[in-house]
Amino acid sequence: MRILVVEDEVKLAGHLRRALEQDGHDPHLVYDGKVALCEAAGRSYDLVILDVELPRMNGFEVLKQLRDGGVQTRVLMLTARAEVADKITGLTSGADDYLTKPFSMKELLARVNAVGRRFTAPATAELCAGALRLKLEERELWHGERRIELSERECALLKVLMREPGRVFSRAELSERVWQREHEYDTRLVDVYIGRLREKIDADAQEPMIQTVRHLGYTLRETSP
């Protein structure tokens, strides 16, 4: 996942970046509330790890302004405040999860991955991304004017990618979402099905719709070339 880490303790921010990178994520660090607001509102992230105590603008205010502005990026808040009232403030302001300092890095990574998987699919009979249009009930894919037949698994995999175009999915997460395997991931199977989708969708394309992000996983381009 592309993750914005907002933490003014430079040493802790560095530890967070290394742990997230080792877990297969793509973190970007900022150390200031106002910078965080501009960054989160202006660029596409899958998750924001947001500290409460920040220079110039605290995390609660950053979160409030993001939600007021219609930014629905998932937010995991970090804070030294353990009071229930502060947790309630964060969660009712639109945070998806709340972690109190000090914390175990393993717990943080578990929460990051859990929040990343927490996605409520919109009620729709059709998904669109660039030149792709997927009719869910009919399991029917159109690439422009070309109709493409999909197997059940190909459709399920493409559906995950099309629900969140631009988001990078790890092989493990795709395996879990499509094959419902929570403990043992056969990432080679994901590669096989990605290959099949590419043959059907991107056979003659100069720039493929389904792209590999090195060391991270796969993503579906948000727009057509």
Residues 78-92, mean pLDDT to the nearest whole number: 74
Q: What is the pLDDT of residues 41-60, one digit of tens each?
A: 888 788 999 999 899 899 89
Indicate the pLDDT class of residue 76, thresholds 50, 70 and 90. very high
pLDDT averaged over every residue in the chain: 84
Q: Looking at 17-26, 110-119, 177-186, which range is the least confident one?
A: 177-186
CA separation for the pair 48, 113 (Å, rounded): 12
Beta strands in the chain (DSSP E): 2-6, 26-30, 47-51, 74-79, 97-100, 126-129, 132-135, 140-143, 146-149, 210-213, 217-220
- What's the pLDDT score for residue 35? 93
Residues 157-166, mean pLDDT to the nearest whole number: 88
Q: Looking at 27-36, 133-142, 155-164, 199-208, which range is the least confident one?
A: 199-208
Task: Supply the DSSP symbol for 16.
Answer: H
Residues 147-162, mean pLDDT to the nearest whole number: 90
Q: Percent of the chain beyond pLDDT 70?
A: 89
Indicate the pLDDT class of residue 183, thresholds 50, 70 and 90. very low
The answer on pLDDT for 82 being more than 70 is no
3-state secondary structure of 218: strand
Residues 65-88, mean pLDDT to the nearest whole number: 82
Q: Is the dihedral of CA 48, 52, 58, 59 positive or negative?
A: positive
Q: What is the pLDDT of residues 120-153, one digit of tens each?
A: 555 567 888 888 899 887 888 998 888 998 988 8
Q: Which of 176, 160, 139 lies closest to 210, judged by CA? A: 160
Say which residue, 57 or 1, is predicted with more confidence: 57
Alpha carbon of 116 to those of 73, 119, 130, 150, 173: distances in Å? Answer: 10, 7, 23, 27, 9
Looking at the DSSP bridge assignments, the partners of residue 169 are: 218
Q: Are 111 and 70 in contact (CB under 8 A)?
A: no
